[in-house]
Structure 1
Amino acid sequence: MKMKTYILAFGFLLLGLGVIAQPNRDQIRSLKVAFITERLNLTPKEAQEFWPVYNAYDDRMVKIKFEELRGIRRAIKKNVETVDDVEAKILLDNLVNAENKLHEQKVGLIISLKKVISPQKILLLKIAEEDFNRKLFEQFRKKREQRP
């Protein structure tokens, strides 16, 4: 167990030194996989069933966040001063629809994972995701503060 901790710490050190400069989703995803695997302590059978479900979920979430939400938010920021009520309503409806898709994906993941891992491990997954995102954000913030 200690070896996993050292590997994970080394991975975050690398993340802090190199990946932050040139964010690479594949490297970040690899670190996330290692982090979640350690936190959930998945058996080989659980891991074999868990990762395809989780990776499909993660791919859908990325698509919604980066293809839909990013575009909607850009349109809102770009047009907030000049948009009329009709256009504002359309933007809000699009935003709500995209946010609902994210929520549906989260609910769908939990339903799918109940067939694969225990409810306790699903809760551990939620905590692990939050912890990973917090650590990643801290690394980005530290790197930004170090810039001249």
Structure 2
Amino acid sequence: MNIRKLYPLLFLFISFTFYAQGERMKEKREQIKAMKVAFLTSELNLTPNEAEKFWPIYNIYDDKQFELRHNRMKGSFRKINDDELDKLSEKEATALLNQIESNEEELFQLRKKFISNLKDVLPSVKIIKLKRAEENFSRKLLQQYRDKGSKK
């Protein structure tokens, strides 16, 4: 399997870990969001006009993506993470799988709409740079997480 396909999943599971730890993690999320804004700003080299139009669209997208990944999928992954997985009936497993597929489809449609909205604001090259910058940020965040874990 291509390692690049694992990054979103790794980021997703790290995000679940952050969400599970309550208020302290809300602060952590805000810190990560601030780091992400700074990273994307530097990578995209947006003009003032582009930035003025880009950030409201991006923030709405990012918030909806977070909600989908964390709030809606939380129940699904709770069953998977518990020891209950082996106890699921085929019917329950099918329902869970359908819910996961539905959430993944919603995420895909959200991303599609986001890109469509960006086409009115940014040139296509910068939209592609955004995708690359998001992946690079996730990679950087994972590396920091790994480095922090190895120091303990």
**For this structure pair, what is the TM-score category when the shorter chain's length is used for normalisation?**
0.7 to 0.9
Cα distance, 1:77 vs. partner? Answer: 3.3
Cα distance, 1:76 vs. partner? Answer: 2.6
Query: What is the aligned partner in structure 2 of residue 141 from structure 1?
Result: 146
List, as ranges, runs of 4+ consecutive aligned residues in structure 1 with deviation greater than 4 Å. Answer: none
The one-letter amino acid of 2:51's match is A
Give the alignment's TM-score, normalised by structure 1: 0.82
Are the aligned partners of 1:72 and 1:95 in contact in 2 as well (CA < 8 Å)?
yes
Give the alignment's TM-score, normalised by structure 2: 0.80
The one-letter amino acid of 1:69's match is M
State which structure, 1 or 2, has the greater radius of gyration over its C-alpha atoms: 1
Query: What is the aligned partner in structure 1 of residue 43 from structure 2?
Result: 39
* Bigger mean CA offset, 90-99 vs 22-31: 22-31
1:115 paired with 2:120, answer yes
Q: What is the DSSP-based 3-state SS (H/G/I as helix, E as strand, rest coil) of the residue aligned with 1:42?
A: coil
The one-letter amino acid of 2:56's match is P
Q: What is the DSSP-based 3-state SS (H/G/I as helix, E as strand, rest coil) of the residue aligned with 1:80?
A: helix
Aligned length: 126
Q: Once the two structures are superposed, what CA deviation does each residue of 1:30-76 show, in whole Å capped at 9, x if it has no partner?
A: 11101101111100010000000000000000001111223211113
Gaps of 5+ in 2: 1-23
Gaps of 5+ in 1: 1-21
Q: 1:48 and 1:95 mapped to 2: Cα distance?
A: 35
Q: 2:81 and 2:147 mapped to 1: Cα distance?
A: 27
Instruction: Give me the identity figure in percent.
Output: 40
